[in-house]
Structure 1
Amino acid sequence: MTQLRFDPALPWWAIAALAGLALLVAGFALWRGLRGWAWRGLAGLAAALALAGPAVEIGTRAGLSDIVILLDDRSASQDLPGRGDQTDRAVDRIAAAAATLPDTELRRVTLGDDPDGTQLGGAIARAVSAEPEGRLAGVIAVTDGRLHDAPMLPEDLPAPLHVLLTGQPGDWDRRLVIEEAPAFGLIGQEVTIRLRIEDQGAVPPSARAGGVDLRLSVDGEDPVTVAVPLDTSLELPVTIGHAGQNVVQIELDGVEGELTTRNNAAAVSINGVRDRLRVLLVSGEPHAGERTWRNLLKSDAAVDLIHFTILRPPDKFDGVPVNELSLIAFPTRELFLERIDDFDLIIFDRYSVRGILPPDYYMNIARYVEQGGAILVSAGPEMASVESLNLSPLGPILPARPTGRVIEEPFLPRLTDDGRRHPVTAGLPGGQGDDPDWGRWLRMAEVTPKPGAQVAMTGAGDSPLLILDRVGQGRVALMTSDQVWLWGRGFEGGGPQLELLRRIAHWSMKEPDLEEEALLADIRDGLSVRFTRRTMQPRTGPLRITHPDGQVTDLPLEAQGPGRLTADWTAPGPGLYRLEEGGISRVLALGPAAPREFEETVADAPLLAPLVAASGGSVTRLSDGIPDLRQVRAGRATSGSALSGPWIGVTAREAATVTGLERRPVLPPWAWLMLIAGLILTGWLAEGRRRA
């Protein structure tokens, strides 16, 4: 590499001025007719050139090797039958061929699994940007052509891109596509899942004959089989049975000859929610704490409250005509017979049996509870009287029997051992220790709890204060004191009355977060899960996990507090897992049952085709043979067929780097001086001969 450089002794403007002056003098001499005008002009230009410092720069170069990038796709779809062996042979053959090419280096990039699918576009962009553009001779990708980050592909490449496709031309696959699935659904109502079953690739005619049997299962229950057609969008109705996560598993049988059955199933998680919580609050008489329940329930936007206060019981005779009263009649028939099943919770607040409700109505309330309803009794002194609800047909479902005694003395509500375990009372603010940081209450009714009922709080003399029980499919809660309003008024520091009453009400309405016997799964990151077991039992066994392939894992649980055990676990792969412990079972969906890697499994390269065409590369199926690797000149064809089979070419770049640099002046200073002096002397002699 030889170049002419300048190292001026004066600023360029001064050198330009000198050159201009030389040309001006030469022009003046020509105008006067002097014979030496040309020699004088050349002398001035030579002086200007000498001041510019011309020098010859001589560099020595060293050739650089060409770079070939080999992308080895090892994503999950490459593990399908036959593709792994194809990939191994092709990668080894290309690597061996690249080693025989002169001045060629191979950069091998291995692409693994990713939760977002095959990230081949980003891998190509990163690999190309990491190498000098002038040395890149080619990019070779051994893949099935299915990528999920097409926007990351570069628009063009300085070298050809060759795609070596795995798989076979006769490959085909059947998959289940979930087109639309709701994330939430109302409890007891239907939601619709829209899906489609489609075939891809070279589907044999025998596989397309007839319909397909689709199995639908909710929360691991016995599946329902439905016959559906192929390549048609279908809407399947699913009824949300409970609050919280409802896992809907949809699957179809595999067909002989298809690539994989991993995309023949899907798990959809639908969170069951209540439209509105409907609560009926019946206050037996006005009292200081009457508005406690009303204010709590009215402050909850998810609650529809109907509140009745009995101001004039039937046994009250004051002589006032009924038509002159501004009170409305208590709609007992409508509430307790016709529309009782519309309510999620019925609260009796200091309610006395005074003949307002006939016995049949109480029996209907008991039926309502046994079939899944809930009642909450907030009792006062009437609990120990002959007007107690315990003496009505409702008594058999109440969790305690009154002794007939009312305790009129201050007492501090305390949590029992069951209360520290039960979600309704566990962790109440200020309730830690034997002496809670709460205010005292002043009155309660003495009761005897029934066998099986859970006493969560006690009052004076360790007498039960809050009793919780299950009856049939429903729930019953009993608070034996009407003094909770003291906490709201701040008496002796008050207490967490709103939190306590809210938990009691929502437990009665089967809030999943307040279940005392529950198995929870919190998906942390990807396949990592934290299991939480809430229980009233003193000890539990290991958690049994059944994998999608039938393998069973027993996971020990560690105590993290009263009635709460946890364990951290990482699943070996996505799919539907069944959990069981202590008679409680649930289904857990980790990741999609059909990951993105298996959405499209037939090998093809439609997303890579534009970049292949723009770079002058090629797409070759490995089923036709592994192509030979050649080195071709720029502008020549980069792929073709020969007698030995197909071949692909990488472009020779002939890149080089400068290893040394030497600068030599065009003439030494003394030579410039002699040249300038000689030109001046020649001009003088030319003028002198004219005078002679």
Structure 2
Amino acid sequence: MIRDIAFSPYLPWQVLAVIAAIAVALIAFAAWRGLSGWGLRALAATAILAALAGPALREEQRDPLTDIVILVVDTSASQSLSQRAAQVEQAKAGIEARLGALANTEVRVITLRDATDNRGTLLMTALAEAMAEEPRGRLAGAVLLSDGQVHDIDIAPGFPAPVHLLLTGEPTDWDRRLVIENAPTFAILGEEVTLGLMVEDQGRVPSTQAASTEIVVAIDGGEPMTFTIPVGRMIDVPVTLPHGGINVIQFTVPEAEGELTTRNNAAVVQINGVRDRLRVLLVSGEPHNGERTWRNLLKSDASVDLVHFTILRPPQKQDGVPVTELSLIAFPTRELFMEKVDDFDLIIFDRYKLRGILPADYLENIARYVEDGGAVLFAAGPDFATADSIFRSPLARVIPAAPTGRVIEEGYRARLTDAGARHPVTEGLGGLVSAEDEPTWGRWFRQIELAPERGDVVMSGVEDRPLMVLDRVGEGRVAVLGSDHAWLWSRGVEGGGPQLELLRRLAHWMMKEPDLEEEALTASAEGSRMTVTRRTLGEGARQVTITAPDGTEVTVPMEEISPGRFLAEYDGAQMGLYRLAEGDKEAVAVLGPAAPREFEETIATGEKLAGLVSGTGGGVLRLSDGIPDVRRVREGRPAAGNSWIAITPREAYLTQSTSLTPLLPAWAWLLILTGLSVMAWLREGRRAV
């Protein structure tokens, strides 16, 4: 029961103040004039003001409320290192027991886990959310069981009571990590790109550790390369990308004896390899309607440098024009086909035939160019089936299909073969899903009969005879198109067809664009989900083996979603580098960073939370020194010591009932006022007599 005086005025306090001022002025005037009853009149005025103020005795029935202490238990990934998890469990049980032993105290336990999207330990967010669920007037303290590595300290709430940090870990902990300081997103193929990286040690590093360490570099999970680099100093690492598209470069530092974890000993960089300029050499045997098609295709791409070699005047033509007037400058034939041939990404022979203009050693050099990694496309015309065919040259050893000598002159629709429905050059061309689908594009009217000797036949023509053959020769690629009527599609004959798409895919496949590899294993990641795609010309069920960052393996069956394309989806429980294998194909994929944010800084420290803790009068203690005692202290007193922490009692309560009783009844106030007034009148009256 709580008793005190409360006022319930009959008039506003402002009005009472005016009345009091007037009364004071009149009484002061009476005293100045020497009136004998001014003291009694002052008492009467005071009684009137007191009566108008409505004084009453207030009695409250209160129920005391318990003090609330928030206990935040950090179970994020970094708390799994060393003996920290056991420390947390023991400290949680010990602090709960000590707080439970204090009278009138409740504990709210908040368990904190890793934040999504690699945002790290959001301890301040958890504390703020816990505060929002409790009355601020009952919060008597907060205890944080953590390694102090928080990632949202900038939103630390204003806590109304002491906040204490109980640090996990050991004072002797140390760790080594690999940091990528800078890495480009794109790089030009063939040009060296520089990455900045550093190996740094954190914590109490043993004096026995060397000043340098090995680092292992692997591109796309390939053969690793080992180098020695200094510790604690950023170095520049030159890298040349091996192929176009995404290149996954992994850097790994071997485990050092005694370090906390190896989860931050690896870093992954994904760089998109792009070509600066694609150099294409187009060799045309003679002008014809399809020649413009090739020029338009290659000129439509601003990244293509086209060199067009065309024989406009056959050697046998005799028109009396002097040779010196046929060209303003001599065409650099030897420079192109002997000295500079390796500078080209693609060579196209468009209806070219042997005329003695390009010597045999030039063509022999082009065959060598293909075997060393170059690409040649043969767009065959009627001359391919004659004795002057380019097949009758040193290039024959790289051409996958021989001409039979027959030229078929009749209308037909090009079709996909079974291999063509699976090959990325022709897969889904014109909306066709399988080889059984009937094409709706326009007809061609000429086909050079081919006898494939090797490679993949992806399109067929008259009576299912081979129309397009693709092959790999040595390190290079070769394609033979057995017709010179592809230009009919671009002209819209009989509705036209996907000519531009076909020739674009064909050219890019020959230039080894990764998206057009017929045998490929790729993966893309979004959040924690990985989508694995296997493209193959083979048949049969497929399953991919996925190796997680911690070395565990799982085999996932793949579903064939279209001919030659298999798909699997996998939810990764860990962030980092995953290795994929299916048959003889391997790939790597990254879910989040190779080293999650939780493992960027692993040494337990109170520095990040020092401002919050000291600002509330709390303390930072190490659990390695033992679980501290818990006390109560008054607000404003020190709340932590060497082996103890304290909470501040809030003395909050809940009012059950309130009653108001007037100090004096109305008749008593009237009697007092009447008595004082009569006494003042009598006193003044006697003085007058």
> Cα distance, 1:10 vs. partner?
6.0
Candidates 146, 150, 153, aligned match of 1:150: 153
Q: Give the residue type in structure 1 aligned to 2:387.
A: V
Determine whether 1:334 maps to 2:335. yes
Using the alignment, how far apart are the partners of 1:660 and 1:668 within structure 2?
A: 23
Counterpart position of 1:221: 222
Matches within 5 A, 1:406-485: 406-431=407-432, 436=438, 438-485=440-487
Using the alignment, how far apart are the partners of 1:197 and 1:482 within structure 2?
A: 59
> Cα distance, 1:670 vs. partner?
4.0
8 Å Cα contact 1:283/1:349 also seen in 2:
yes
Counterpart position of 1:652: 649
Secondary structure of 1:640 counterpart: coil
Counterpart position of 2:236: 235
Determine whether 1:625 maps to 2:629. no
Matches within 5 A, 1:417-566: 417-431=418-432, 436=438, 438-526=440-528, 528-566=529-567
Counterpart position of 1:398: 399
Determine whether 1:125 maps to 2:128. yes
CA distance 1:333–1:647, change in 2 (3 Å): same
RMSD value over aligned CA atoms? 2.9
Using the alignment, how far apart are the partners of 2:147 and 2:437 within structure 1?
A: 69
Secondary structure of 1:333 counterpart: helix
Using the alignment, how far apart are the partners of 2:645 and 2:49 within structure 1?
A: 58
CA distance 1:18–1:164, change in 2 (3 Å): closer
CA distance 1:9–1:539, change in 2 (3 Å): same
Q: Give the residue type in structure 2 aligned to 1:119.
A: L
Using the alignment, how far apart are the partners of 1:394 and 1:666 within structure 2?
A: 121
Matches within 5 A, 1:79-90: 79-90=80-91
> Cα distance, 1:503 vs. partner?
0.8
User: 75-84 or 401-410, which moves further after superposition?
Assistant: 401-410
CA distance 1:330–1:385, change in 2 (3 Å): farther
> Cα distance, 1:428 vs. partner?
2.4
> Cα distance, 1:586 vs. partner?
2.1
Determine whether 1:134 maps to 2:165. no
> Cα distance, 1:438 vs. partner?
3.7
CA distance 1:369–1:125, change in 2 (3 Å): same
> Cα distance, 1:328 vs. partner?
4.8
Using the alignment, how far apart are the partners of 1:197 and 1:299 within structure 2?
A: 47
User: 44-53 or 380-389, which moves further after superposition?
Assistant: 44-53
Matches within 5 A, 1:594-613: 594-613=595-614
> Cα distance, 1:38 vs. partner?
6.9
Q: Give the residue type in structure 2 aligned to 1:420.
A: A
Using the alignment, how far apart are the partners of 1:316 and 1:647 within structure 2?
A: 107
Using the alignment, how far apart are the partners of 2:445 and 2:329 within structure 1?
A: 32
Using the alignment, how far apart are the partners of 1:17 and 1:609 within structure 2?
A: 54
CA distance 1:618–1:41, change in 2 (3 Å): closer
> Cα distance, 1:677 vs. partner?
4.7
- Summarize deviations over 1:302-334 as a string: whole Å, max 9, x none: 222222332222222211113333565442211
Using the alignment, how far apart are the partners of 1:295 and 1:554 within structure 2?
A: 47
User: 108-117 or 128-137, which moves further after superposition?
Assistant: 128-137
User: 570-579 or 237-246, which moves further after superposition?
Assistant: 570-579
> Cα distance, 1:100 vs. partner?
0.3
Q: Give the residue type in structure 1 aligned to 2:184.
A: P
Secondary structure of 2:222 counterpart: coil
CA distance 1:299–1:679, change in 2 (3 Å): farther
CA distance 1:393–1:266, change in 2 (3 Å): same
Using the alignment, how far apart are the partners of 2:550 and 2:634 within structure 1?
A: 54
Candidates 112, 116, 119, aligned match of 1:116: 119
Identity of aligned residues (%): 55
CA distance 1:4–1:311, change in 2 (3 Å): farther
Using the alignment, how far apart are the partners of 1:230 and 1:15 within structure 2?
A: 81
> Cα distance, 1:395 vs. partner?
2.6
Candidates 158, 183, 207, aligned match of 1:205: 207
Using the alignment, how far apart are the partners of 2:327 and 2:4 within structure 1?
A: 112
8 Å Cα contact 1:449/1:467 also seen in 2:
no
CA distance 1:666–1:492, change in 2 (3 Å): farther
Using the alignment, how far apart are the partners of 1:20 and 1:602 within structure 2?
A: 70
8 Å Cα contact 1:350/1:482 also seen in 2:
yes
8 Å Cα contact 1:431/1:438 also seen in 2:
no
Using the alignment, how far apart are the partners of 1:272 and 1:559 within structure 2?
A: 29
- Summarize deviations over 1:409-452 as a string: whole Å, max 9, x none: 33222222222211111122343575656442342223224143
8 Å Cα contact 1:18/1:44 also seen in 2:
no
Q: Give the residue type in structure 2 aligned to 1:652.
A: P
> Cα distance, 1:534 vs. partner?
0.8
Candidates 187, 190, 193, aligned match of 1:185: 187
CA distance 1:10–1:134, change in 2 (3 Å): closer
Matches within 5 A, 1:261-280: 261-280=262-281
CA distance 1:5–1:305, change in 2 (3 Å): farther
Counterpart position of 2:377: 376
Secondary structure of 1:429 counterpart: helix
Counterpart position of 1:639: 640
Counterpart position of 2:173: 171
Q: Unaligned regions of 5+ residues in structure 1, if any?
A: none
Using the alignment, how far apart are the partners of 2:19 and 2:231 within structure 1?
A: 90
Secondary structure of 1:542 counterpart: strand
CA distance 1:3–1:437, change in 2 (3 Å): farther
Using the alignment, how far apart are the partners of 2:673 and 2:432 within structure 1?
A: 108
Q: Give the residue type in structure 1 aligned to 2:658.
A: L
Secondary structure of 2:542 counterpart: coil
8 Å Cα contact 1:211/1:229 also seen in 2:
yes
CA distance 1:59–1:538, change in 2 (3 Å): same
Q: Unaligned regions of 5+ residues in structure 2, if any?
A: none
CA distance 1:312–1:65, change in 2 (3 Å): same
User: 85-94 or 173-182, which moves further after superposition?
Assistant: 173-182
Secondary structure of 1:383 counterpart: helix
> Cα distance, 1:103 vs. partner?
0.8
> Cα distance, 1:373 vs. partner?
0.9
Using the alignment, how far apart are the partners of 1:109 and 1:606 within structure 2?
A: 22
8 Å Cα contact 1:430/1:438 also seen in 2:
no
User: 658-667 or 338-347, which moves further after superposition?
Assistant: 658-667
User: 556-565 or 428-437, which moves further after superposition?
Assistant: 428-437
CA distance 1:16–1:437, change in 2 (3 Å): farther
CA distance 1:435–1:172, change in 2 (3 Å): closer
Aligned residue pairs total 685
> Cα distance, 1:550 vs. partner?
4.4
Using the alignment, how far apart are the partners of 1:611 and 1:435 within structure 2?
A: 70
Q: Give the residue type in structure 2 aligned to 1:651.
A: T
Matches within 5 A, 1:566-577: 566-577=567-578
Matches within 5 A, 1:228-377: 228-326=229-327, 328-377=329-378
User: 404-413 or 337-346, which moves further after superposition?
Assistant: 404-413
Using the alignment, how far apart are the partners of 1:308 and 1:432 within structure 2?
A: 38
8 Å Cα contact 1:430/1:436 also seen in 2:
no
> Cα distance, 1:490 vs. partner?
2.4
Determine whether 1:662 maps to 2:665. no
